[in-house]
Amino acid sequence: MLVNKKRVKRNKSLDKFFHGFFMAMALLSASFIVIIVLFVFAKGISPFLPGYEYGQVNIISFLTGSLYRQDQGIYGIGFIVINTLVCSFLALLLSFPISVLTALFIAKIAPKKLGAIMQSVVELLASVPSVVYGVFAAGVIAALIKDLASSLGITTFGGSSMLAVIILLAIMIFPTLTSMATTAIKAVDKDLEQASLALGATRTQTNFKIVLAAAKSGIFAGAILGLGRAFGEATAVAMVAGNKLFGPTFDLFDITRTLTSTMLAGLKETSGLDYDIRFSVGLVLIAVIFVSNWVLNYVKKKVGNN
Amino acid sequence: MEEICFDVKNVNLFYGEKQALKNINMQLLKHKVTAFIGPSGCGKSTFIRCLNRMNDLIEGCKVEGEIFKDGQDIYSAKQDIVDLRTHVGMVFQKPNPFPMSIYDNIAYGPRCQGLKDKKKLDEIVITSLKQVALYDEVADRLHESAMGLSGGQQQRLCIARCIAMSPEVILMDEPTSALDPISTAKIEDLVLELKKEYTIIIVTHNMQQAARISDYTAFFLMGEVIEMDITDKIFASPGDKRTENYITGRFG
């Protein structure tokens, strides 16, 4: 007899145990997310509730304000939201074409070995810690911008500027965009390429009209991820943003202020409302990311519907 | 007097070290349907891909010998490959429409050649679709995605896309192997219709298909052409024992 009844029973109970065990693990990690969101929400919403110990803040003037002065107790972040959106989207605009063309080169044009080397370089870039990008931005990008500005007769705050933030973010999201785009391009059905070439299209025509068109959904997904990173990047951005007190900023050489740099600046040396309000800013940041992801996913669906 | 479309002389093909085609010699005639038959891996698909140089895309693939088309060796350095492929179109085993509208699928080839005139493109799209008898089925949704068509319709679209380039030759690499019997019958009718204007070379696994639609048949085995003759003769009285064994279903 191959079937041992005892054995079968034991296997069954072992199965049951592991089923429960995995479920517990999944619940644990899911509960972290819930706990974090609940905590940030509770803390972030508190300044706007009546009876708040440091004096209730008006939520409308918080969300729409164009002045942020903790020394005077004025907290308006409307302009900061705009700054964040402008910086992130411009960074995406700058990084997107470079990333897509790099991905095309890696996946389709480069000789195999060179492509593999380039791909590992891109992956390496993704693993550089953001604070390292930050010192690079402060030491190199900001210095270059300072020189550029002074040659144009513009004074900057030591190079800290919106332009520095945009360039920094563009560099930081480049690996995400590129590796997602490379994967998407490599996944394009070879049959489509062959069909195009067999119709007398050139390599370049095939790459642009067929390969990129077929990969656009994956490329777009990379853009969404990259934008999420741009929105959320704090450390490096805080090092070159300059934290302007009012705004919004539309001058590339002027300093700016993003939601993340606002949350980060002086977090450890403050208390009371100025401390709690950072949680409110965090909530707004989550909302901004959520909404822009939703919008981009909607656009992606529209674009991908072919 | 029959005109020669391709004159193939001593073609050998290697994938790295492995020889996939051995000393192929044949003449393919204009405005005829020539079928390549043979068991899987016999080299018939490999050979058809020599005729529009699609094998160039495969790394480590080396072709020796000459294939003359209109007096020029298509493997000579002088041959412009893009130009060759505009004259020698190809239909693949799996229908492979581009993920774009029906209209754009057909306009793709001409547009790649720089044709922008909307009127001319419209005309090409419509005549191409009519030629493959697809126009009536899709007339009201030309600007909808081609991915919504059935497999058989997709394959006819691919043939229309090929015709839009007004090629001289259409290569078909097992064009019906992924299709149901009704779609297959439509494609076969289409081939008989198209041979009035085009030279058609078709690879097929289906011997009845070869018998039904081709004028000439070549039997491939292990990278060699065992026998090539008028189709009726190949099927009625094959000259080689191996051909006979294959077409009577004793192997393959």
Unique residue bearing structure tokens 């490599």: A186
pLDDT score of A267:
85
Residues of A in contact with B90 (CB under 8 A): 195, 198
Nearest Cβ partner of B89 from A198, A213, A214?
A198
- A208 to chain B, minimum CA–CA distance in Å? 11
Residue B71 has a pLDDT of 86
Query: Which pLDDT value is given to residue A7?
Result: 84
pLDDT band at A212 (very low <50, low <70, confident <90, very high): very high
Q: Give the phi and the psi of residue B220 in degrees, each rounded to 5.
A: -100, 145
Helix or strand run (H / E) with residue A232: helix A212-232
Instruction: Confirm or reject contact between B82 and chain A (CB < 8 A).
Output: yes
Q: Beta A74-75 vs B88-91: how paired, if at all?
A: unpaired
Asked if residue B241 lies in contact with residue B40, where contact means CB atoms within 8 angstroms, the answer is no
Look at residue B124 and tell me if it is in a domain.
no
Q: Which pTM was predicted?
A: 0.85
Q: How confident is the model at residue B249 (pLDDT cuts 50, 70, 90)?
A: confident
Which whole number is the average pLDDT over A126-131? 92
* Cα separation, A88 vs A232, whole angstroms: 9
Structural domain boundaries, residue B230: 4-98+168-247
A154 vs A102 pLDDT, higher one: A102
- Other Cβ atoms within 10 Å of B163 Cβ, number: 23
Region B189-200 average pLDDT = 93
Beta strands at A74-75 and A68-69: parallel, antiparallel or unpaired: antiparallel
Asked whether the predicted pLDDT for residue A139 surpasses 80, the reply is yes
Mutate to test the interface with A, among B84, B92, B112 (most CBs of A within 10 A): B112
Instruction: Indicate whether B119 pLDDT > 70.
Output: yes
Residue A270 has pLDDT above 90, yes or no: no
Q: Classify residue B112: in a domain, yes or no.
A: no
Closest Cβ opposite residue B96 in set A195, A202, A306: A195
CA distance A105 to chain B (A): 17
The answer, yes or no, to whether residue A265 has pLDDT greater than 90, is no
Task: Please check whether residue A288 touches B, CB under 8 A.
Answer: no
Q: Phi-psi region for residue B6, left (φ > 0), alpha (ψ -120 to 50) or beta?
A: beta
Contacts of A29 (CB under 8 A, 6+ apart): none
Q: In this complex, do B89 and A214 lie within 8 Å of one another by their Cβ atoms?
A: no
B161/A contact by beta carbon, under 8 A: yes
Given a contact cutoff of 8 angstroms between Cβ atoms, the answer to whether B37 and B218 are in contact is: yes
Higher pLDDT, B252 or B102: B102
Q: What Rg do the C-alpha atoms of chain B give, in angstroms?
A: 18
Closest partner residue to A198 among B52, B100, B101, by Cβ?
Answer: B52
* H runs (alpha helix) in A72-141: 78-104, 112-126, 130-136
Residue contact A213–B109, C-beta within 8 A: no
Residues on chain A touching B85 (C-beta within 8 angstroms): 197-200
pLDDT at A300 over 70: yes
Give the pLDDT of residue B251. Answer: 65
Q: What is the mean pLDDT of chain A?
A: 92
Closest CA to A275 of A116, A9, A46, A12: A46
Rounded average pLDDT over A146-165: 92
Which among B50, B53, B108 is the top mutation candidate for probing chain A, defined by the most A β-carbons within 10 Å of its own β-carbon? Answer: B108
In this structure, is residue B133 part of a structural domain?
A: no
Q: What is the CATH number of the domain that holds B33?
A: 3.40.50.300
Binned at pLDDT 50, 70 and 90, residue B102 comes out as: very high
Tell me the domain boundaries of chain A: 5-48, 80-304
- How large a percentage of chain A has pLDDT more than 70? 99
ipTM of the complex in this document: 0.91
Query: Does residue B216 register a pLDDT over 60?
Result: yes
Average pLDDT over residues B157-186: 93
Cβ contact (<8 Å) for A198 and B85?
Answer: yes
Q: What is the pLDDT of residue B1?
A: 59
- Predicted confidence (pLDDT) per residue in B123-136, tens digit: 999 999 999 989 99
How is residue A230 written in tokens? 């741009």
- What's the pLDDT tens digit per position in A158-208? 899 999 999 999 999 999 999 999 999 999 999 999 999 999 999 999 999
pLDDT at A2 over 80: no
Average pLDDT over residues B114-120: 94
| Count of structural domains within chain B | 1
Determine which of A41-45, B8-12, B55-59, B153-157 has the lowest per-residue pLDDT on average: B55-59
- CATH node for A80-304: 1.10.3720.10
CA nearest to B155, candidates A195, A200, A212, A190: A195
Which residue from A277, A226, A256 is spatially nearest to A100, judged by alpha carbons? A226
Question: B16, exposed or middle or buried, with CB in 10 Å at 0-12, 13-18, 19+?
Answer: exposed
Among B133, B143, B7, which Cα is nearest to B66's?
Answer: B7
B99 in contact with A at a CB cutoff of 8 Å?
yes
What's the token pair of residue B105? 């699928």
Q: How far apart are alpha carbons A280 and A257 in whole angstroms? A: 16
Judge residue B14's burial from the number of C-beta atoms within 10 Å of its C-beta, 0-12 exposed, 13-18 middle, 19 or more buried.
middle
CA neighbor of A187 nearest in space, from A209, A215, A206: A215
Burial category of B222 from C-beta neighbours within 10 Å (exposed 0-12, middle 13-18, buried 19 and up) = middle
Distances (CA, A) of A283 to A83, A249, A278, B49, B67: 16, 22, 9, 60, 70
Per the domain annotation, does B120 fall within a domain? Answer: no
Distance CA B70, CA A269 (A): 84
